[in-house]
């Protein structure tokens, strides 16, 4: 039977792996290639790499880095950060990634998603939307490392992205990033209910139970996390970790 | 015996080559019809739109080379994902004919519970072997493999069905007939079991 993917999301800053809390307080975790080697040994389902400052700094995630990951990774991986044109996607795929993750450019120019999906096929194009409530305001999606509000309501944006040909949507809660207190289930469910493409939950997972909740109650098809796979224990000691397949299948219930 | 990974401009072939490198099999990526004709074995990968793939294969002369190598010279071939779909008679994706080696069609997923079963079918799922095959030798029953696809095979000849998988309903996830093998999932993305598929294919 089908089971949802359990996906470590690895954030890059200046070639190092970092972990954020609510998109701030970047803490250095280690060497990303070393992390890939560990996730290979632990047989992770899939990996996602995001260069968090690329859009803000007007550049694209490093191709050399993706090549290095491609040489090592024994599982599918997606890469994103600062993608603005078709040539960049072509280079990233050629360097070994299966999928690209697009955030800022999807909001600025939704038709870019159409162009990308027509060129590479929908299953290659992943849209990540970062969601936060504005102070006393409405919930909306944000871009440029969570610094610019787009005015898009998350459900409307997800529907638009599906219509433009995105193959998958990562729904990330900015407020829950790094908190490890559970996903924003209502948010994820609202997106799952409004699109028919896979939805990946991100932001807030503190344990596999949280993932099970996102799967069984919010219909997330991918269960992604950062802190959960790079920290160990209450004091958040740095330790790359990933559950065994037995534990995943035992904890994450199947649909009846 | 050399293995040629057929390059017709669709998708990431390096991941297949890297997997073969890892198990010590030297494979060459080629789009040259002559090299394809002379290959000891062929791998036909591919990601993307069916009709664009057919167009590319025909424009490059690879289409004829594949037919001759596979049907006349009986070169063993392994199709992966779109590569498998191209081996069928017809696809709904672009409403166009494929190579027609298998008595099968390619149709879009027809799930009814759209909340639970999103399309593309993306992720890990069990593969159930339906007939004895050297390709699955020493692979545990119902092993998990990685899938990414919106269209699937509808076989019209039960004898060609190699594997099935369940995504709301059972669909055909692998076909085989003589020297021709096709898999809907990605062995190159499927950890150790995927490597085993390639080493079994290499041993054929």
pLDDT tens digits, one per residue of B102-127 = 999 999 999 999 999 999 999 999 99
Contact A168, A192 (CB under 8 A): no
Q: What are phi and psi of B174, to 5 degrees?
A: -165, 145
Contact A98 B119 (CB under 8 A): no
* B 142-161: CB under 8 A from A: 144, 146, 148-150
Q: What are the structural domains, with CATH classification, of chain A?
A: 5-251 (3.20.20.70)
Residue B181 has pLDDT above 60, yes or no: yes
Mean pLDDT of chain B: 95
- The chain A residue lying nearest B14, using CA atoms, is A96
Task: State the Cα–Cα distance between residues A78 and A86, nearest whole angstrom.
Answer: 16
What CATH number has the domain spanning B3-203? 3.40.50.880
Give the distance from residue B46's alpha carbon to the nearest chain A alpha carbon, in angstroms: 11
Q: For residue B187, what is the nearest residue in chain A, using CA coordinates?
A: A75
Segment holding B171, helix H or strand E: strand B169-177
| Neighboring chain A residues of B166 at a CB cutoff of 8 Å | 1-2
Beta bridge partner(s), residue B89: none
pLDDT the model gives residue A202: 97
Question: A124 in contact with B at a CB cutoff of 8 Å?
Answer: yes
Residue B99 has pLDDT above 80, yes or no: yes
> CA-to-CA distance for B98 and B51, rounded, in angstroms?
9
SS3 for B122?
strand
Token pair of A253 as six digits? 């219930």
Q: Average pLDDT, stretch B4-15?
A: 86
Q: Kindly tell me if the per-residue pLDDT of A62 is higher than 80.
A: yes
> In A121-252, which residue ranges form alpha helices assigned H by DSSP?
154-164, 185-192, 208-216, 227-230, 245-251
- Taking residues A8-16, what's their average pLDDT? 93
CB contact under 8 A, A121 and B166: no
The pLDDT of residue B13: 85
The better pLDDT of the pair B1, A174 is held by: A174
Is the per-residue pLDDT at B72 higher than 90? yes
Q: Residues A45, A130, A177, A184: which is the catalytic one?
A: A130
Q: A74 to chain B: nearest residue by CA?
A: B191
pLDDT of A256 over the 70 cut: no
A51 is catalytic: no
d(CA A156, CA A3): 27
Q: Which residue of A has its CA nearest to B122?
A: A198
**Residues of chain B by 3-state class (helix, strand, coil), percent to 5:** 30, 30, 35
Give the separation between CA B96 and CA A121, rounded to whole angstroms.
Answer: 17
**pLDDT band at residue A82 using 50, 70 and 90 as cut-offs:** very high
pLDDT at B11: 73
Give the Cβ contact number of residue B29 at 10 Å: 14
> How many helices (DSSP H) and strands (DSSP E) are in chain B?
6, 14
Q: Are A136 and A167 in contact (CB under 8 A)?
A: no
pLDDT at residue B98 in the model: 98
Closest Cα to residue A117, out of A137, A129, A102, A128? A102
**pLDDT tier at B61 (50, 70, 90 boundaries)?**
very high
CA distance, residue B100 to nearest chain A CA (Å):
23
Q: Between A and B, how many CB-CB pairs are < 8 A?
A: 91
Res B87: pLDDT: 98
B120 upstream amide cis, omega within 30 of 0: yes
Task: Write out pLDDT tens, residues A90-135.
Answer: 999 888 899 999 999 999 999 999 999 988 888 899 999 999 987 6
Please judge whether A168 and B11 are an interchain contact, meaning their C-beta atoms are less than 8 angstroms apart.
no
In whole angstroms, give the CA distance from residue A228 to residue B23: 32
**Does residue A42 have a pLDDT over 60?**
yes
The answer to whether residues A199 and A222 touch, using CB atoms and an 8 Å cutoff, is yes
Q: Nearest CA of chain A to the CA of B28: how many Å?
A: 16
Q: What's the pLDDT at A186?
A: 96
Query: Is the pLDDT at A150 greater than 80, yes or no?
Result: yes
Read off the tokens for A91. 């280079």
What is the spatial distance between Cα B53 and Cα B79, in angstroms, rounded to a whole number? 13
User: Where is A86: in which H helix or E strand?
Assistant: helix A86-94
Token pair 């006349």 is found at B72
Taking a C-beta distance cutoff of 8 angstroms, is the pair A120, A113 a contact?
no
> Who among A97, A120, A199 is closest to B48 (CB)?
A120
ipTM score: 0.89
> pLDDT category, A46, cuts 50, 70, 90?
very high
- Mean pLDDT, to the nearest integer, of B160-167? 98
Write out chain B residues lying below 8 Å of A3, CB-based.
123-125, 144
pLDDT of A161-171, one tens digit each? 999 999 999 99
How much is the pTM? 0.92
What contacts B200, CB < 8 A, 6 or more positions away? B134, B135, B136, B137, B138, B139
Domain map (residue ranges) of chain B:
3-203
Q: What is the mean pLDDT of chain A?
A: 93
DSSP B49: -
């Amino acid at each position: 039977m089908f089971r949802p993917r359990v996906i470590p999301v690895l954030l890059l800053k200046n070639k190092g792996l970092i972990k954020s809390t609510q998109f701030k307080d970047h803490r250095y975790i280690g060497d990303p290639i070393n992390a890939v080697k560990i996730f290979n040994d632990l047989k992770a389902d899939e990996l996602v790499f995001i260069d968090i400052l690329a859009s803000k700094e007007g550049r694209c995630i490093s191709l050399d880095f993706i090549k290095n990951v491609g040489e090592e990774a024994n599982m599918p991986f997606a890469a994103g950060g600062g993608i603005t044109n078709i040539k960049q996607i072509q280079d990233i795929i050629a360097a070994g990634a299966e999928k690209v993750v697009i955030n800022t450019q999807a909001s600025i120019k939704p038709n870019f998603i159409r162009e990308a999906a027509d060129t590479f096929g929908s299953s290659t194009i992943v849209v990540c939307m970062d969601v936060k409530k504005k102070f006393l305001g409405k919930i909306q999606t944000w871009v440029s490392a969570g610094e610019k509000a787009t005015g898009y309501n998350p459900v409307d944006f997800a529907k638009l992205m599906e219509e433009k040909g995105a193959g998958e949507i990562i729904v990330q809660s900015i407020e829950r990033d790094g908190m490890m207190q559970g996903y924003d289930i209502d948010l994820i469910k609202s997106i799952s209910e409004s699109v028919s493409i896979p939805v990946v939950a991100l932001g807030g997972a503190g344990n596999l139970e949280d993932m099970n909740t996102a799967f069984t109650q919010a219909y997330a098809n991918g269960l992604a996390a950062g802190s959960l796979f790079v920290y160990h224990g209450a004091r958040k000691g740095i330790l790359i970790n990933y559950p065994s397949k037995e534990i995943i299948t035992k904890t994450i219930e199947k649909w009846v | 015996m050399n293995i040629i990974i057929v390059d017709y401009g669709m998708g990431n072939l390096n991941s297949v080559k890297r997997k073969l490198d890892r198990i010590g099999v030297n494979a060459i990526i080629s789009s040259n019809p002559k090299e394809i004709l002379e290959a000891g074995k062929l791998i036909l990968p591919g990601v993307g739109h069916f009709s664009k793939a057919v167009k590319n294969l025909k424009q490059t002369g690879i289409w004829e080379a594949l037919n001759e190598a596979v049907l006349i010279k009986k070169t063993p071939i392994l199709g992966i994902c779109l590569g498998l779909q191209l081996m069928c008679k017809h696809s709904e994706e672009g409403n166009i004919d494929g190579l027609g080696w298998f008595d099968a069609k390619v149709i879009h997923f027809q799930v009814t519970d759209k909340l639970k079963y999103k399309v593309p079918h993306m992720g890990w799922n069990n593969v159930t072997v339906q007939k004895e095959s050297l390709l699955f030798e020493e692979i545990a029953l119902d092993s998990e493999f990685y899938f990414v696809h919106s269209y699937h095979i509808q076989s019209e000849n039960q004898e060609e069905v190699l594997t099935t998988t369940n995504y709301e309903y059972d669909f055909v996830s692998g076909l085989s007939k003589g020297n021709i093998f096709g898999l809907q999932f990605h062995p190159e993305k499927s950890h150790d079991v995927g490597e085993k598929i390639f080493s079994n294919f290499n041993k054929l």
